[in-house]
Copies of this chain bind each other. A is one copy, B any other.
Amino acid sequence: VGKRAIGIDLGGTDIKAGVVDDQGKILCKISIPTQVAEGRTAIIRNVASAANLARRKGGFAWRQISAIGLGAPGVVEYPSGIVRHNPNLQCLLGQELLQPVMDELDVVGMSMTLDNDANMAAYAEAWIGVGKGRDTLALMTLGTGIGGGLILNGDIWRGAWGAGAELGHHVLFPDGVKCGCGSHGCLEMYGSATALVRRFLETVASGKRSPLATRARKGAEVGARDIDKAAKSGDKLCRNLIEETGRFLGIGAANMFNILNVEMVVFAGGMTASGKMLLDAIRAEAKKRTIPVAMKGAKILFSKLGNDAGLIGAAGYALKQARARKRN
């Protein structure tokens, strides 16, 4: 097995792809629109194009690429490879994704690996990120929802049927807000960026006042970034909401420590831009709720790989899988 792989991160808006070396260094990368509205065939063609564009941008021939890794949102059922439970790319539901992409690429003998995008990001963290050298970690990506990845014994934990590590869908408030998954009160409904905006609007509607609340009342569209900016500029209401998000996520982290005794919980995604204000709140809450022996030595950190975690992890995991296949 060689030293380079193409990593692809298939998102609801963009497809990111890059050639990554065996140290996790990105040699070149590109990004193209997913074109969700054009349906499944277009997405498959675009995923294949992204791989080719990244390869050509770096000037690599196919023989210089050892493997391709693809991270996709949703559950990739095991061993069928069929995409399940994928709210953002519904047109892929109930279908295989890997084989059509391989057919479209039509490269003989290429080792290809598909997994959930957050699983790939978790692998990147354990490989070259803040979890480098750790054998067990949990990762949660804080965005529209909360994606989850688990690394146990140095490998991605897929579970019995590929649905492992849906960490955003463990229950925080049994009688809480209805979740898209069918349950109520999932962590995702309290700790995601979407949840932050919802809670802000609820607070505004309840009559609480603050500079950003005033702007919202006058009709301004408010996103998670606006709430973060306002909090950093001294808007106490916004700061409280972000710290409350931290408490919710801290409970989620404590649950990971108590259930699994992982060495580390890593948070990724746009909301980590809130920095220390959010991280301190997460850590304080987790410490209160974790059994001391599981907390001792455990770490809670924000990812530093940013938007590249998915493609780096996909490439790294594809290389690992290619090596394993060669051995067997």
Q: Chain A: residues with CB nearer than 8 A to chain B?
A: 75, 77, 84-85, 135-136, 148, 150, 152-153, 157-167, 169-174, 181-184, 247-248, 251, 254-263, 288-294, 296-298
- Known contacts A162-B261, A164-B261, A261-B160: A171-B251 contact under CB 8 Å: yes
Choose from B77, B247, B261 the contact partner of A159 (Cβ within 8 Å): B261
Most B CB atoms within 10 A — which of A85, A150, A184, A260? A260
* Chain B: CB-nearest residue to A170: B255
A169 touches B136 (CB 8 A): no
Q: List 18 A-B contacts (CB under 8 A).
A: A84-B293, A85-B291, A85-B292, A158-B261, A160-B261, A160-B298, A161-B297, A163-B258, A163-B293, A164-B259, A167-B258, A170-B258, A173-B173, A174-B247, A183-B288, A183-B290, A184-B289, A255-B259
CA distance A158 to B161 in the complex (A): 22
B166 touches A291 (CB 8 A): yes
A258 touches B169 (CB 8 A): yes
Q: How close is A273's CB to chain B, nearest CB, in angstroms?
A: 25
State the copy count for this chain: 2
Choose from B136, B248, B288 the contact partner of A182 (Cβ within 8 Å): B288
Choose from B135, B152, B288 the contact partner of A157 (Cβ within 8 Å): B152
A166 touches B259 (CB 8 A): yes
CA distance A84 to B157 in the complex (A): 27
**In the complex, chain B residues whose CB is within 8 Å of the CB of A296:** 161
Q: How close is A242's CB to chain B, nearest CB, in angstroms?
A: 17
- Known contacts A160-B135, A294-B161: A289-B259 contact under CB 8 Å: no
CA distance A293 to B162 in the complex (A): 8
Most B CB atoms within 10 A — which of A170, A258, A296? A258
CA distance A63 to B258 in the complex (A): 40
A261 touches B163 (CB 8 A): yes
CA distance A152 to B257 in the complex (A): 16
CA distance A121 to B256 in the complex (A): 22
B292 touches A84 (CB 8 A): yes
**In the complex, chain B residues whose CB is within 8 Å of the CB of A150:** 259-260
A171 touches B169 (CB 8 A): no
**In the complex, chain B residues whose CB is within 8 Å of the CB of A247:** 174
Choose from B259, B261, B292 the contact partner of A259 (Cβ within 8 Å): B259
**In the complex, chain B residues whose CB is within 8 Å of the CB of A148:** 259
